[in-house]
Amino acid sequence: MYFPKNFLWGGATAANQCEGAYDEDGKGLSIQDVLPKGFKVITDGPTPDNLKLRGIDYYHRYKEDIALFAEMGFKVYRFSIAWSRIFPTGEEDRPNEAGLQFYDRVIDECLKYGIEPLVTISHYETPLALAKKYNGWSSRILIDLYLKYCRVLFERYKGKVKYWITFNEINSILHQPFMSGAILTPKDQLSSQDLYQAIHHELVASARAVEMAHRIDPACKVGCMILAVTIYPLTSNPDDIIEVMRLDDENYLFADVQARGAYPYFAARLFEEKGVRLEITPEDREALTHTVDFVSFSYYSSNCASADPTKGEPTGSNMTTNLKRNPYSKVSEWGWQIDPQGLRYTLNRLYARYQKPLFIAENGLGANDTLIPDGRGSFTVEDDYRIRYMNDHLVQVSEALHDGVDVMGYTAWGCIDLISCSTAEIKKRYGMIYVDLNSDGSGTLARYRKKSFGWYKEVIASNGESLQK
């Protein structure tokens, strides 16, 4: 195996999917507090059926959970800060000190075990008040509000947090404008002009945050993150090849701007065909020149695309429902295609394009786990399917490293069972730690080590040498 000695092994969570305590210690409402069914329904306010309001109670159990991460040997823990825990409506003059103190404790707990915090500043949880008042990132006003929030974090955690990500899966706004961009206008009523103007506001905010972070703490590293929609042509028909090129352009535009410092050459035609004329100020263009230090991404599966929408079977993916299944790939219990080699391919493509260090911020397998007695008076999950998925993907990371790709680290998504982003249930579990919680809210919230817990512990301890080709 080809993992460097300083490879950052770890796991990833998101505040809105694990913390709970949605109304404690001065926290304001976020957009997640009105999404009780995942993407499907937006309510006027919090409703009892929203499992994210309680989460897995990480807010009160973070010490126990971080201790388990340390037991696995984590070198890094990627988590997000809930914006509305720091600025409840996004517009307060002063931050909520109780919210900051919670993250003080989380960060200190990580550092106690030698775990590097990798903090996502905005992970699908814009304050709800900003969605209602400004239609989210549709408004340029959000740039300065976001930067006010960033400044508080950068100054508070200078010297403690070395790694930051500005926006989670920033290109997901193409698929889920409300969840990703806090835009209340229904997707089918949202014009391309308004959508891409909101995207531009986020890209400017990200670039200005990079400049601010480097100024406040020159030692820190700031990355962008994209949803890595890895797409193959369904057939060798040139029409399908061009369709994939078009879809790639839409997605890579986000990382191009953040990693290269300007809109890419193909943006002019893309905007022309969509009828978009961006409002870009000279100050915006200067801001965009502040590029990220690394490019991070999520990768779960690959998909196919065809210029003919009648061809191919629809994919079971969360967001990219217009894409097609690959007839050569196996599928998970949820219909997601399992393509380990696609991760090596993605790493190579991104590195060839940007020549910047890469970080795999999310990867994992969602499955309907069954808790069973472990024979030692406790319980476990025999999740060999998860071990196989992670093993095969990590072998391909090693192959990419051998190819010469600079990969900083890997954080397994949902290292502890979380509430689902897409459905707000918990039956699709990703963790190596089982949480006794059911989708109806019942359960003790007790934590149990799955079989994959011990497996991942050995992988980290051996720096990947225990992986099986």
Active-site positions?
169, 362
Q: Which residue carries 């579990």 as its tokens?
A: 429
Strands (E), 194-279: 221-227, 230-233
Distance from the first to the final alpha carbon of the chain: 9
Q: Are 133 and 145 in contact (CB under 8 A)?
A: no
Whole-angstrom CA distances from 359 to 69, 212, 225, 296, 408 are 19, 21, 9, 4, 5
Q: What is the DSSP string of 303-371?
A: EEE-SSTTSSPBP--SS-TTSB--TTSEE-TTS-EE-HHHHHHHHHHHHHHH-S-EEEEE----B----
Whole-angstrom CA distances from 173 to 58, 168, 222, 240, 291 are 27, 10, 21, 24, 21
Region for residue 24 given its phi and psi (left: phi exceeds 0; alpha: psi -120 to 50; beta: otherwise):
beta
Q: Compute the distance between CA of residue 46 and CA of residue 36 in angstroms, rounded to an integer.
A: 8
Region for residue 266 given its phi and psi (left: phi exceeds 0; alpha: psi -120 to 50; beta: otherwise):
alpha
Residues 6+ apart with CB under 8 A from 442: none
Q: Compute the distance between CA of residue 151 and CA of residue 317 in angstroms, rounded to an integer.
A: 36
For residue 117, the 8-state DSSP code is E
